[in-house]
Each structure stands twice: as C-alpha cells, then as structure tokens.
C-alpha cells in the first residue's frame, strides 16, 4: 500500500505531538528552518523499519542536547554523554518504536496489526556531511527552539 505524502505529513504531525507530550512531557511543534539541526552539534540518528502492513522506515534526527534533555525528562534524572550515551540510545529507540506505532494507527486505522523491526540508534558527528537519511522525507519539528527531524521512507 503506497501512502500519499499529505497523509504521511498529517499522521507524522499528530503522532509526534502525541508521543513527545506523553513520553517526554514536551510540546513538539512545527519547526522553523533556522532551528534545524546543523553540523555544529552531533545528533542521535534513530531509525526503525516497518514491515507490515506496508514496508517503510521511520527515523529521528535529534541534536545531542535535546536528546539528553528528553531522556532526563522521561527518566527523571540527569543524563550526560560521558556516562549515559547507551541509555539515551535506549530511550530514543523506545520513542521511535512508539512513534512508528502511533503513525501507523493514524495512517491505517483499520489495520489490526503492525510488524515493526528493531530500532537502531547511533551518534552522527556531522548531520550535514554524514546524512544517512538522504532518501527519506524530512519533517522538521522543534521543542523549545531546538529543531529535530522525523524522517519517513516508504518502499
């Protein structure tokens, strides 16, 4: 099943708003280009394959500072890259999993089951030169003036 870009964009906006508010207690809004991630700060890149009902890939590109802030809010303790990098990756992987499920619920409300793959998460030092999601649609959001992307790639 091929999904239209407008349906994906609408579902993405609803899912991001719902998931970030419920999980991280943060309000995610449409992003402004001037707040988009840049090469100045490393990012966490998380992606999760969707196998059923339609093959796709959902991803998140989140600046390190925002990822640490999110993990701290979700786990109710301070996080640092030096001590907690892998735990932050676990938190972001869970957010990606929940985000994918929420998106699919909005995109295909009549489906009774989804099949998601395992999330992958890594740090990318330069999100401009090291852009691994170049074949994906980018949806820019922001939290407190810090931009992040949620990506979508359909097969």
Domain that holds residue 72: 5-154
**Helices 5-24 & 64-75, crossing angle to 10 degrees?**
50
Q: Binning pLDDT at 50, 70 and 90, where does residue 79 land?
A: very high
Buried b (16+ CB within 10 A) or exposed e, 129-139: eebebeebebb
CA distance 14 to 103: 8
Closest CA to 94 of 114, 67, 112: 67
What is the token pair recorded at 52?
A: 């059923």
The number of distinct structural domains making up the chain is 1
Q: Indicate which CATH number applies to the domain containing 70.
A: 3.40.1550.10
Give the pLDDT mean for 47-60: 93
pTM of the complete model: 0.93
Position 123 pLDDT exceeds 70? yes
Q: Binning pLDDT at 50, 70 and 90, where does residue 150 land?
A: very high
């Amino acid at each position: 099943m091929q999904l239209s870009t407008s349906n994906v964009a609408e579902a993405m906006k609803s899912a991001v708003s719902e998931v970030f508010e419920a999980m991280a207690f943060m309000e995610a809004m449409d992003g402004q280009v001037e707040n988009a991630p840049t090469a100045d700060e490393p990012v966490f890149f998380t992606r999760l394959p969707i196998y059923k009902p339609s093959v796709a890939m959902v991803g998140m590109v989140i600046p390190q500072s925002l990822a640490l802030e999110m993990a701290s809010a979700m786990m109710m303790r301070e996080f640092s890259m030096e001590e907690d990098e892998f735990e932050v990756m676990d938190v972001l992987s869970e957010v990606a999993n929940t985000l994918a499920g929420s998106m699919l619920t909005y995109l295909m409300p009549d489906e009774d089951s989804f099949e998601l793959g395992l999330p992958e998460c890594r740090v990318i030092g330069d999100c401009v030169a090291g852009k691994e999601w170049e074949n994906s649609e980018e949806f820019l959001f922001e939290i407190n003036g810090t931009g992040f992307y949620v990506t979508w790639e359909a097969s």
